[in-house]
Amino acid sequence: MQPPATPHPAVAPHAFSSRNFLKLIEDTGKVGFWSSDLRSERLTASPGLYRILGIDPATEMTFGFGLDMIHPDDQAAHRDQIAVLRSGQAISREFRIVRPDRTQRWILHHAEAILGPDGVPCQGMGVVFDVTAQHDAMRALLQRHDRLTALIAATASVFWVNKANGEPSEMPQWMALTGQSHAEMQGLGWLDAVHPEDRPRTLAAWTTAIEHTAPYNTDYRVLCADGIYRWFNARGAPVLNRDGSVREWVGVCLNVPGRTRYGAPPPETPAAVPSAAPAADALVTPAQIRAARGMAGLSKEDLAKLAEVSISTVNRLEDSGSAVRPRPDTVLAVRRALEKAGIVFTFEPGVKPGIREA
């Protein structure tokens, strides 16, 4: 008869010590640990910490040795770390170190103090992460962003970002160009700043691009904040997710000098008005514009339409206290519209500028 088999002892859930887990973590090469009696200068460092610091594991580690490795430009802000710990406060710092081989690394240091029975900090422990890769990736990302920003500034008047469904998202430069508010350009509101003759074609081109997830490219006239229509070439493309769906749309509006490919010239800009301009080209005053509009029986909307400027431009022209003055060619455009409506502007020496019927 065989003796009963001796049962194997059950493996305790805690058979794997915390050392096993720490070693597993440290083997990534990106983390290290330390502990110390805060009343001394020596500290015990893990192999991972020696690896991050780039020093021989046989080297005796002290607080002073570690603090001396901080980059000179970061010394002033971060050399107080051990003093802060000895005061009982935890620390969380990100800074550069210079290793013995003169290479630089970015590290993230978390540490805290443990109080003794007398309430005085006596032990310290910390964890150090090598975050150099994250900093390199962020620096490369910022560099690409700066390059794109510089390129846009050199070539485009407007950089725009639209949602996947084509509705405006980020268009601060469009708002600055047209004077539209964020609410005014929502949906198809941005088309209100496009010349009425160009809206159907512009909307058709944009709708086609959205429906077919295709690049967008068209020309149109934009009513700028100064009340002048100018030609722009708008082009954009969809940014796709990995599954082929549209994440967003990005594009630019480029200023188009001269004639467009549709054969229509941009509005003519009157020649610069000399300081001693003759009466026929003199710039009218806000009071003259207000009086002339009243004599002609025109509303602000009527005058804006006749002069091909915005209503806000008419408001600024009639407000003598406005800090924003339209350009001389804009003022002349309004004057010409009022003259066509039967108004004569008078500029007689020694007399305030006035108006009369033609």
What was the pLDDT predicted at 353? 84
Q: For the chain (length 358 residues), average pLDDT per consecutive 10?
A: 52 56 69 92 92 93 94 95 94 96 95 93 94 92 83 77 90 90 92 94 93 92 90 93 93 75 44 43 80 86 89 83 72 89 84 82
18-135 fold: Beta-Lactamase (3.30.450)
- The CATH number for 156-255, chosen from 1.10.8.60, 3.30.450.20, 3.90.76.10, 3.40.640.10, is 3.30.450.20
What was the pLDDT predicted at 207? 92
What was the pLDDT predicted at 345? 87
Cα 170 from Cα 191, distance rounded (Å): 16
Nearest to 223 by CA among 307, 299, 317: 307
What was the pLDDT predicted at 311? 85
- Domain 156-255 and domain 279-357, same fold? Reply is no
DSSP per-residue letters across 23-56 = HHHHTTSSEEEEEEETTSSB-EE-HHHHHHHT--
Per CATH, the homologous superfamily of domain 279-357 is lambda repressor-like DNA-binding domains (1.10.260.40)
List, in sequence order, every residue forming a beta bridge with 104; answer none if it has no partner: 98
Structural domain spans, the chain: 18-135, 156-255, 279-357
